């Protein structure tokens, strides 16, 4: 594997919130290294609070590592890179005062996309996520799933090489997230984007990812990476195969121990003891 294939290189990255001695001092991420290949979809999975969002925000230049380096396209990341990296956040990050299509166009305007292309690209992106008939709606008029589709359209319209998704379907119900996962798999197989996808769902990780990185409990670092060797776009039937359940079980085994540790941490810190 040559360096040319690496889209994102995370090297010995740690992050601490607050100064040592502060009441809220936390080591969110501990000496993590990770190479993400161009065009792959990498899932991050791990106990709550282990630093997945922190890592994603450092890759996206929204947060500076306390130590270590993050490189995108073999250049060190020093701040947001709107031409290379787009985000889909867990929370609803659509601007409520803009209609769906205005939200998408505003993103392109911030990015500096040519004005003449904006309308067209916005329509295309919204059609791709199935929101053709809801362009003039306001976010408050959409369901949770539609809002996340709109947020995805906004990210896609930026036509970046890298897409960072932080539990984009985290707040949705099981059925909606299954459908969105299937749609996403189809949508993304037609692009050659590099994607980092944080999720809590083992099934979602196996269904979507080329590789899954499992985090240890806080202070987080990558415990193991497993490969999901199955062509894209994945068929809905993949979920019912033996291979799928085996991979899912492997992940479950890796994760279970870490979640126990994470829960033990919070109980020890809690008022019960």
Partner 1 sequence: MSARRDRRDKLASRAVQAGFVVVLVALWYFGTTRWGVSHLLLPNPVKVWEELKDVLASGDYIPDLTITLSEVATAFVLSCTSGVIVGYVISRSQYAIRVFEPLLAGIYSVPIILFLPLYILFFGLGPASKIAIGTTISFFPIVLNTIAGFGYVEKIFITAARSMGASNYQMFRYVLLPAALPVILTGLRIGFTVALLSILGSETIASLAGLGHKIVHLAEAMETARMFAYIAFAVVIAAVLNMIVTSLEARAKRQ
Nearer to partner 1, 63 or 205 (CB): 63
Q: Which of 14, 45, 52, 158 binds ligand ATP (CB under 6 A)?
A: 52
Question: Taking the complex as a whole, how short is the minimal distance between the CB of residue 168 and partner 1, in angstroms?
Answer: 13
CA distances from residue 188 to 1, 2, 195, 214, 222 in whole angstroms, order as listed? 23, 24, 9, 22, 25
The CA distance from 18 to 133, in Å, is 46
From residue 98 to residue 137, what is the string marking binding to partner 1 with x (rule CB under 8 A)?
x-------xx-xxxx-------------------------
Helix 144-157 vs helix 174-189: crossing angle, to nearest 10:
20
Q: Does 82 bind partner 1 (CB under 8 A)?
A: yes
Candidate list 46, 47, 87, 149; residue touching partner 1; CB under 8 A = 87
Q: Is the peptide bond before 219 cis (omega within 30 degrees of 0)?
A: yes
User: Of 227, 85, 109, 271, which Cα lies nearest the Cα of 166?
Assistant: 85
Q: Which stretch binds partner 1 (CB under 8 A): 29-37, 60-68, 126-134, 208-216?
A: 60-68
Q: Which of 13, 36, 42, 50 is close enough to bind ligand ATP by CB under 6 A?
A: 50
Selected range binding ligand ATP among 46-54, 99-107, 151-159, 224-232, rule: CB under 6 A? 46-54
193 binds ligand ATP (CB under 6 A): no
Q: Which residue has the tokens 């601490």?
A: 16
Stretch of 23-31, 34-42, 142-150, 151-159 contacting ligand ATP, by CB under 6 A: 23-31
For residues 213 and 132, give the distance between their C-alpha atoms in angstroms, rounded to a whole number: 35
Of the pair 52, 234, the CB lying nearest ligand ATP is at 52
Q: Distance between CA 155 and CA 164 in Å, rounded?
A: 9
Task: Select from 3-11, 48-56, 111-119, 131-139 the region that touches Mg ion (CB under 5 A).
Answer: 48-56
Ranges of H-type helices in the chain:
52-59, 100-111, 115-128, 144-157, 174-189, 202-208, 242-269
| Binder of residue 92, out of ligand ATP, partner 1, Mg ion, none (CB less than 5 to 8 A by kind) | partner 1
Looking only at the bridges linking them, the beta strands covering 67-72 and 222-227 are unpaired
Residue 88 is a binding residue for ligand ATP (CB under 6 A): no
Q: Does 53 bind Mg ion (CB under 5 A)?
A: yes
83 binds partner 1, rule: CB under 8 A: yes
> What is the torsion angle, in degrees rounded to the nearest 10, for the CA atoms of residue 138, residue 143, residue 149 and residue 154?
20
Contact (Cβ atoms closer than 8 angstroms) between residue 181 and residue 239: no
Rule CB under 5 A: which residues touch Mg ion? 53
Rule CB under 6 A: which residues touch ligand ATP? 17, 24, 26, 28, 48-54, 218
């Amino acid at each position: 594997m040559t360096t040319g294939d690496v889209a994102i290189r995370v090297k010995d990255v740690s992050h601490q919130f607050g100064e040592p001695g502060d009441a809220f001092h936390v080591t969110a991420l501990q000496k993590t290294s990770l190479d993400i290949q161009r065009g792959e979809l990498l899932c991050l999975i791990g106990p709550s609070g282990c630093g997945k969002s922190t890592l994603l925000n450092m890759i996206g230049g929204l947060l500076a590592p306390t130590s270590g380096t993050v490189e995108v396209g073999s250049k060190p990341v020093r701040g947001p890179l709107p031409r290379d990296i787009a985000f889909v956040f867990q929370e609803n990050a659509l601007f409520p005062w803009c209609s769906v299509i205005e939200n998408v166009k505003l993103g392109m305007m911030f990015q500096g996309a040519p004005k003449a292309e904006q309308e067209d690209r916005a329509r295309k992106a919204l059609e791709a996520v199935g929101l053709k008939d809801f362009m003039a709606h306001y976010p408050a008029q959409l369901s949770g799933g539609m809002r996340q589709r709109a947020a995805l359209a906004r990210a896609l319209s930026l036509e970046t090489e890298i897409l960072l998704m932080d539990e984009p379907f985290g707040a949705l119900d099981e059925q909606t997230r299954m459908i969105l996962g299937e749609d996403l798999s189809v949508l993304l197989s037609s692009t050659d984007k590099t994607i980092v996808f944080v999720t809590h769902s083992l099934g979602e990780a196996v269904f979507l990812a080329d590789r899954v990185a499992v985090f240890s409990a806080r202070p987080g670092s990558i415990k193991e990476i497993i490969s999901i060797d199955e062509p894209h776009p994945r068929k809905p039937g993949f979920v019912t195969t033996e291979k799928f359940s085996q991979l899912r079980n492997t992940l479950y085994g890796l994760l279970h121990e870490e979640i126990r540790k994470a829960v033990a941490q919070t109980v020890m810190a809690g008022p019960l003891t």
